[in-house]
Amino acid sequence: MDSQSFWNHAAERPEHVAVIDPEGVETTAGELLASANQIVHGLRGLGFVPGDCIAMMLPNSLEVYEVFMAVAQAGWRVTPVNWHLTPPEVSYILQDSGSKALIASERFADVAVSAADDAGLGAEGRISVGDIAGFRSLSSFKADQPTTTPDDRSAGSPMTYTSGTTGNPKGVRRPAAKADADVMANQQAMFLALFGMLPGQPGVHLVGSPTYHTAVLNFSTNHLHLGHTVVLMDRWTPEDMLELIEKHGVTNSHMVPTQLTRLLKLPKEVRDRHDLSSLSHMIHSAAPCPVDIKAQMLEWWGPCIYEYYAASEGGGTLATPQDWLAKPGTVGKAWPISEIRILDDDNQPVAPNEPGTIWIRMGDHRFEYHDNQKKTDEAWNEGFFTVGDVGCLDEDGFLFMRDRKQDMIISGGVNIYPAEIESVFVLHPKVADVAVFGIPNEDWGEEVKAVIEPVDGVEPDEALAQELSAFAAERVAKYKMPRSIDFTDELPRDPNGKLYKRKLRDPYWEGRSAAI
């Protein structure tokens, strides 16, 4: 097979199991292909043309891939919507993206109806999985449509929205180009070759995070283009993940450091209960991973854990298991198609091992923030783009990420990186999760605050605060130590592990200007 694309694989091996949903229901590649084709024919019948946008608000389900594989061969854009958002937030995305249709699950019916009404979405563009008042079901929408391959196929793409650390989220949009759907799919499949996953190798990809996240959607669809099976989890738990790895012979997944930490918090007898010998390429990204956590995972799972640095806008770097063991803490060296440079606040290069803003170039790759030229211009400099992360390059070109720039604490003129402090607290056996951030201090500008989620059964009292402070004080410089520790039942993370730190930090800064 010359071209690695889902459509070619489905034509050659229609009986191959493409998707296993959270209930264990299997869908073959032929069945998925037929559904995707029906969606193309149906939406074209409504007047959809290349460049049009479709929003989907769906849990991890077969329908995510039906819609994606329709869009990807019809020249449309698809915007996955975070289903934790409020109706006004969803309405904003529908309007900003110019979505002509919303395909929503009945699990999110109230938000979908309210957002569609507010955005002025017409009745013909309202499609549901399950029953939603005023929406036509996807099954009936497809029912009268042919399953044949559509004519005039062209590549489509996602237009995802950043989480919006301040203000409204930004739509990351790449320039429209008339490209062959199979050629583009082949390029996406071959991205996995960076990690050593090559055409012809068998693979089972586990999806444990929500598919509204850019990387989760991209990696899982790339595996479909490579001819692999995709196994879906509705809600990630560490033991469920281990059970599914053993049951389905999972070879790879895309994870975040929080999930690695929670796997290690399982009792040893639970961790040892499952056969994980099928694992070959477990990939993680999205945030700095504590060195001790990564080391323990490599000891448990062996040299199958890969790490990369990238963003919705592009990337990036790759650290193989061997790279990381040689340089603990690195997020790797630049991809063959990429360049990395570190600049100070005046956009001047810094010395090796000195922190600064991370800038990336990916050949001729370009993106823009949809309808936001100002933010687009701020993100680009001499062909390099940044998302505002802080890191440093060593003498050998390996990148070490410090933190998100907006999370950096400036106390008495000194830069303090919360991720470094968090990586210490999370090692304590009584800590399930931790967030460190800066709060106002009249003398120093900011001071360090920690909010900790204790493990189940641990009393969150002053004695625990003192115990944790003593533990950290042996490993963290005094000026970095939190001046106070609060406790919470649960930190505000989304199901992918992303911490909404602003929800903890913003109340302290209300009516004031932060130092950064």
Quote the tokens at residue 514.
């932060």
Cβ 238 vs Cβ 259: under 8 Å: yes
Q: For 194-201, which contacts have Cβ atoms below 8 Å and span 24 or more sequence positions?
A: 194/308, 194/318, 194/335, 194/336, 195/281, 195/283, 195/306, 195/308, 195/318, 196/281, 196/306, 196/320, 197/226, 197/252, 197/281, 199/1, 199/4, 199/226, 199/227
Are 113 and 37 in a shared domain?
yes
Segment holding 419, helix H or strand E: helix 418-425
Are 428 and 396 in a shared domain?
no
pLDDT value, residue 231: 98
Domain end residue (candidates: 405, 429, 448): 405
Quote the tokens at residue 388.
């505002």
pLDDT value, residue 176: 59
Does a structural domain hold residue 361?
yes
For 385, phi and psi rounded to 5 degrees? -120, 160
Are 460 and 355 in a shared domain?
no
Are 390 and 463 in a shared domain?
no
pLDDT value, residue 116: 97
Domain end residue (candidates: 405, 432, 447): 405
Cα separation of 493 and 218, whole Å? 21
How large is the angle between the packed helices 181-190 and 214-225, nearest 10 degrees?
A: 110
CATH of the domain at 309: 3.40.50.12780
Are 418 and 397 in a shared domain?
no
Cβ 102 vs Cβ 127: under 8 Å: yes
DSSP state of 176: P
Domain tally, the chain? 3
pLDDT value, residue 166: 47
CATH of the domain at 94: 3.40.50.980
Are 284 and 394 in a shared domain?
yes
- Over its length of 516 residues, how does the chain's per-residue pLDDT go in tens digits? 457 999 999 999 999 999 999 999 999 999 999 999 999 999 999 999 999 999 999 999 999 999 999 999 999 999 999 998 889 989 999 999 999 999 999 999 999 999 999 999 999 999 999 999 999 999 999 999 999 999 999 999 898 887 654 456 777 766 655 789 999 999 999 999 999 999 999 999 999 999 998 889 999 999 999 999 999 999 999 999 999 999 999 999 999 888 998 999 999 999 999 999 999 999 998 777 889 999 999 999 999 999 999 877 877 899 999 999 999 999 999 999 899 999 998 889 999 999 999 999 988 777 777 777 888 777 788 888 898 888 999 999 999 988 777 788 888 777 888 888 999 999 999 999 999 999 998 778 889 999 999 999 999 999 999 999 999 999 888 989 999 999 999 999 877 677 888 889 888 887 665 443
List, in order, residues 6 or more apart from 74 with CB less than 8 Å away.
Answer: 40, 43, 44, 48, 50, 150, 153, 154, 156
Burial state string for 372-386 with b = 16 or more CB within 10 A and e = fewer than 16? beeebeebbeeebbb
The range of the structural domain enclosing residue 128 comes to: 29-161
Are 33 and 105 in a shared domain?
yes
Are 430 and 504 in a shared domain?
yes
Cβ 103 vs Cβ 69: under 8 Å: no
Are 265 and 360 in a shared domain?
yes
Does a structural domain hold residue 420?
yes
pLDDT value, residue 493: 86
Does a structural domain hold residue 345?
yes
Are 420 and 394 in a shared domain?
no
Measured in Å, how far apart are the chain's first and last C-alpha atoms?
53
CATH of the domain at 420: 3.30.300.30
Does a structural domain hold residue 147?
yes
3-state secondary structure of 236: coil
pTM of the model: 0.84
Does a structural domain hold residue 481?
yes
Quote the tokens at residue 310.
């990238």
* Residue 395 CB neighbours (<10 A): 8
Does a structural domain hold residue 281?
yes
Are 374 and 466 in a shared domain?
no
pLDDT value, residue 3: 76
Are 438 and 470 in a shared domain?
yes
R_g over Cα of the chain: 23
Quote the tokens at residue 501.
């730190």
Q: Which of 210, 387, 220, 226 has the alpha carbon at shortest distance from 316? A: 387
